[in-house]
Amino acid sequence: MFTHAFILAAGMGSRLRPYTDTLPKPMVSVAGQSIIYHILDRLIQAGVTDVTINLHYLGDLLEEHLSYRTDINITFSYEETLLDTGGGIKKALNSFENNPFFIINGDAFWVDGDINIFNHLQKTWQEKRMDILLALQPTERMKLTKGVGDYILDSDGQAKRSPVQEGDMMFAGIRLCHPRVFNNTPDESFSFLKLMDQAEADNRLYGLEHKGEWHHISTAEDLERVHKVYV
């Protein structure tokens, strides 16, 4: 069982204004609680005991909000300057003791199908074949928010990125990753997408189809449509 996770929560959330004028995006409420509380609940259900969360924009508010969660061990990684998705995770890499760990975008909101998504990732993971395993959402099932076909899932489970977005799957912002992908990466700002592309080039990027619902909350309009359904 994998017991550690990293939540990307340092971003500015600019596209979700005005909600993010006074709140960091992971604190925005859906269905009666913050997005990040939804994420923590599902991590705990899957047996995760330790989570690292990076902070930057309105980080003091998010830290205070999370101080009430005593049901999981939370460590904060502060970024004076934003390090992007790759650099932010690498800064906290020692937290994972060279074991695979979950990475979740701090604005990811989903409803599980018949299996918790983190359990699904764990059951699918094959360390000898995989460096990164992505949760992918079929765009045809995305009714509330717009789906972008940025990935294709082969019959053998390998994920292929479609640069022109002609795939039938969208990356859901949830993945299981081995720390080795950070070998030979810079100690500065860089995108995790580069590591996904490298894993694909090495035939070590895999994906699985999420059987539940996932919503791409990018704009205020997206949030309002989702909120109306799950309020």
Domain region containing 153: 4-230
Compute the mean pLDDT over every residue in the chain, rounded to the nearest whole number: 91
103 Cβ contact partners less than 8 Å away, ≥ 6 residues apart: 5, 6, 7, 8, 89, 174, 175, 176, 177, 192
Least confident piece of the model among 52-61, 73-82, 115-124, 204-213: 52-61
- Whichever domain contains 76, its CATH number is 3.90.550.10
Neighbours of 203 (CB within 10 A): 12
Question: Angle 26-221-192 (CA atoms, 0-180°, nearest 5)?
Answer: 45
> Residue 231 — pLDDT band, cuts 50, 70, 90?
low
Treating both helix axes as pointing N-terminal to C-terminal, what angle do 35-45 and 117-124 enclose, rounded to 10 degrees?
50
Q: What is the mean pLDDT of residues 57-84?
A: 91
Q: What is the pLDDT of residue 44?
A: 97
- At residue 220, the pLDDT reads 84
Query: 21 or 35: which carries more pLDDT confidence?
Result: 35
Residue 219 has pLDDT above 90, yes or no: no
Share of the chain above pLDDT 70, in %: 100
Q: What are phi and psi of 78, to 5 degrees?
A: -90, 135
- Which of 19-23, 80-84, 167-171 shows the lowest per-residue confidence on average (mean pLDDT)? 19-23
User: What integer pLDDT is reported at residue 63 of this predicted model?
Assistant: 93
The mean-pLDDT minimum among 109-118, 124-133, 218-227 falls in: 218-227
124-138 pLDDT, tens digit each: 999 999 999 999 999
Residue type, 160: K
Report the length, in residues, of the chain.
231
Work out the average pLDDT over 102-128: 94
Query: How much is the pLDDT for 152?
Result: 93
Provide the domain count of the chain: 1
